[in-house]
Amino acid sequence: MHCLRVLFYTLTMPSPSGLSLIDSFNSEHRRRFYEGHWSLALLMILIVFLSPFAGLYVASLFGAVIGVLLSFAAYYLMPFIWRTVGG
């Protein structure tokens, strides 16, 4: 019976190296990720600030709104995507 409890406990423990989608919305995980990946942090700064202007240029005000939404989605999801792809 003790073996079953140990097996059940190890199966429910989260992986310390893995990053789930929910963890990418945690500010502490995101901060540590961007501190460890300076080049990606600079790229995300450029994407966050330039996407609304690119959207404004391409599709006027609606494009600017879409650019803002996509830039923030990229900022929050980049740690998860980077770990999933294997970066």
Taking only the tens place, the pLDDT of each residue in 51-68 is: 889 988 988 889 889 989
* CB neighbour class for 70 (10 Å; exposed up to 12, middle 13-18, buried from 19): middle
Q: Where are the domains of the chain?
A: 26-87
For the stretch 4-49, pLDDT in tens is 454 444 444 444 455 677 777 788 888 888 899 899 889 888 988 8
